Chain A
Amino acid sequence: METILETKDLRVEFKATAGAQTKKLALKGLNLKVQAGEVFGFLGPNGAGKTTTMNVLLGFVNATSGSASLFGVDVREPIARQRIGYLPELTYYYKFLTAEELLRFYAKIFGLPRAIADERIDNLMKLVELDHARKRPIKSYSKGMQQRVGLAQALINNPDLLILDEPTSGLDPLGRMKVREIIQRLKNEGKTVFFSSHELGEVETVCDRVAIINQGELKVVGRVADLVKEHEANLEQIFLNIIGYQPQLAA
């Protein structure tokens, strides 16, 4: 099976900031492999290193040592991102553009021919149910609508790998359901999905495999069913045990 995403001994060190004496070690030799067609959940508490890992994979931050690759290409090469779609946690788009203009802009960046771009924009606008508002500036959209534009832009190049950073955060139950449906649909199409989330129930439902990271170190990785069987606990309990959570019992 083809390895789509791989990190080898990935280490990221941030410079000491004012007030902090030592450098911050955000990732301590992370080794990850995501195979083609998998839905892979990347879990961890806040500050565990999930976002740093994504930042490295997307080329925003350079690794101090080790390597990361997408489709076998070093993530520092822009071409590594030709076949990926990325949905950030919050909506970071040019708000003075309309949804259609934004999608057309990204389609141009991917070098899509006009006819294909037109067809794909039509399909995506329908998929995310924004066809009626496609000519309106994004700044006039509600948060949920902006999140759906984000999903559409992540799919504009028909990616083989979708990287989603907490895709359902801030969405209403209907929006969450829609995102889950889309992830499921992508999985059925043989696409690979790599996503971080705090919604463990959701992860349990849609993921083939999960990895739990804490303090920059990979603690556990495996199939959800195998982990549940091995630890004799559900995913939430496994997660809490790994991060060392001690419940405060009432006296």
Chain B
Amino acid sequence: MKTIFALSGVVIKELYRRKDFYVLFVLTALITLVLGAVNFFNDDRIVRYLKEVCLLLIWVSSLVIAIGTTARQIPAERENRTIFPLLAKPVSRWQVILGKFFGCWFACGLSLVLFYVFFLLLSGTREHQWPLLQYVQTFALHWALLGIVVSLVLLGSIVFAAPSSNATISFIVVLGILFVGRHLNTVALQQPEPLNSIIYTIYFLIPHLEWFDVRDLVIYGQHLVGWGDCLLAIAYAAVYSTFVLAAAWVAFRRKALNL
């Protein structure tokens, strides 16, 4: 585990030493601040709408950080050839995969904490309400979702050589799953065989990212999701990520790396 955490530490250091993370954070914080400061006739609906926009912004930013950071991990190691002195140490390739995964996931978690704390402070001071448990559930499920996204992008970074193509494809796939994935079963019902079976198979194979989207808890102050359901969703994310990481390891395991 020491090796895995040492590798994760390097990923996190890289993230906070890169300027793009700060640019994204400051930009998101600024927009959230501006939107939070706007007050249209004390209308609750408008306040909620603005909260929705702010949270959407946090979601987009977190996806950009997760995909952008993860997509370059393995390709950058190969391009900069830092993979060679690393693999010349007693490090196995599955440790590299896990180290990169945990590094990117923890880095995403850190940036999520910053985003959510900022949003909570802004929203709480304006509304004088502090629904902490709702925030905890929203954060936990959001972070679990990012775990799946990071593992998918890591698999992509082994399949696609260039970080830019991987980031673009990953972004399209994740957005596609988020917007279309949940409706695939309905689409399948309207299709003849064998299309029906194919679409159903895809529906069951893709990760159900929509299960992790509980922004309404924070926006509308809804009742908490059952903690059991919350844990089940997190367990689903853990199992799904494990399968994707195993696939990434299989692809990376025998890959020849020529100096």
Q: What's the tally of chain A residues with a CB closer than 8 Å to chain B?
A: 36
Task: Please pick, from A78, A96, A150, A153, the residue contacting B92 in the complex, using a CB distance under 8 A.
Answer: A78
Interface residues of B in 173-232 (CB under 8 A from A): none
Name the residue on B nearest A90 (C-beta): B81
A81 contacts B10, CB within 8 Å? Answer: no
B87 contacts A88, CB within 8 Å? Answer: no
B258 on the A face (CB < 8 A)? yes
A108 contacts B2, CB within 8 Å? Answer: yes
Task: Please pick, from B91, B254, B259, the residue contacting A54 in the complex, using a CB distance under 8 A.
Answer: B259
In the assembled complex, the Cα of A86 lies from the Cα of B89 at a distance in Å of 8
B23 on the A face (CB < 8 A)? no
A96 contacts B254, CB within 8 Å? Answer: no
- Taken residue by residue from 1 to 45, chain B's Cβ proximity to chain A (1 for < 8 Å, 0 otherwise) reads as 011011001100110011000000000000000000000000000
Interface residues of A in 104-146 (CB under 8 A from B): 105-106, 108-111
Task: Please pick, from B6, B80, B83, the residue contacting A105 in the complex, using a CB distance under 8 A.
Answer: B6
**A-B pairs under 8 A by CB, number:** 89
B88 contacts A81, CB within 8 Å? Answer: yes
Name the residue on B nearest A84 (C-beta): B88
Chain B residues positioned under 8 Å from A106 (CB to CB): 85, 89
If A62-B254, A105-B9 touch, whether A153 touches B85 (CB-CB below 8 Å) is yes
Chain B residues positioned under 8 Å from A84 (CB to CB): 88
> How big is the B interface, by class?
20 to 34
B258 contacts A60, CB within 8 Å? Answer: yes
Question: In the assembled complex, how far is the CB of residue B15 from the closest CB belonging to chain A, in whole angstroms?
Answer: 10
In the assembled complex, the Cα of A157 lies from the Cα of B86 at a distance in Å of 13
Task: Please pick, from B13, B84, B92, the residue contacting A60 in the complex, using a CB distance under 8 A.
Answer: B84
A61 contacts B257, CB within 8 Å? Answer: yes
Task: Please pick, from B6, B13, B82, B256, the residue contacting A92 in the complex, using a CB distance under 8 A.
Answer: B82
A109 contacts B13, CB within 8 Å? Answer: no
Interface residues of A in 166-197 (CB under 8 A from B): none
Question: In the assembled complex, how far is the CB of residue B193 from the closest CB belonging to chain A, in whole angstroms?
Answer: 40
In the assembled complex, the Cα of A160 lies from the Cα of B87 at a distance in Å of 18
If A51-B259, A78-B90 touch, whether A111 touches B84 (CB-CB below 8 Å) is no
Task: Please pick, from B82, B90, B258, the residue contacting A93 in the complex, using a CB distance under 8 A.
Answer: B82
B85 contacts A92, CB within 8 Å? Answer: yes
Task: Please pick, from B6, B14, B18, the residue contacting A109 in the complex, using a CB distance under 8 A.
Answer: B6
A60 contacts B87, CB within 8 Å? Answer: yes
Chain B residues positioned under 8 Å from A92 (CB to CB): 80-85
If A108-B6, A111-B2 touch, whether A97 touches B13 (CB-CB below 8 Å) is yes
A45 on the B face (CB < 8 A)? no
In the assembled complex, the Cα of A248 lies from the Cα of B88 at a distance in Å of 42
A108 contacts B256, CB within 8 Å? Answer: no
A200 on the B face (CB < 8 A)? no
Chain A residues positioned under 8 Å from B5 (CB to CB): 108
A78 contacts B256, CB within 8 Å? Answer: no
A29 on the B face (CB < 8 A)? no
Question: In the assembled complex, how far is the CB of residue B10 from the closest CB belonging to chain A, in whole angstroms?
Answer: 6
Q: Could you list which residues of chain A lie within 8 angstroms of chain B, going by C-beta atoms?
A: 51, 54-55, 58-62, 78-82, 84, 86, 88-90, 92-97, 101, 105-106, 108-111, 150, 153, 157, 163, 165
Q: Could you list 9 A-B pairs, sorted by A, with CB under 8 Å?
A: A58-B87, A60-B259, A61-B256, A79-B90, A81-B91, A105-B6, A150-B85, A157-B89, A163-B88
For the complex of A and B, 3 pairs with smallest distance between CB atoms: A86-B88, A92-B81, A108-B6
- Given A58-B88, A61-B258, A82-B90, output 9 extra A-B contacts at Cβ < 8 Å: A88-B85, A92-B80, A92-B82, A92-B85, A96-B18, A109-B6, A109-B90, A109-B91, A157-B89
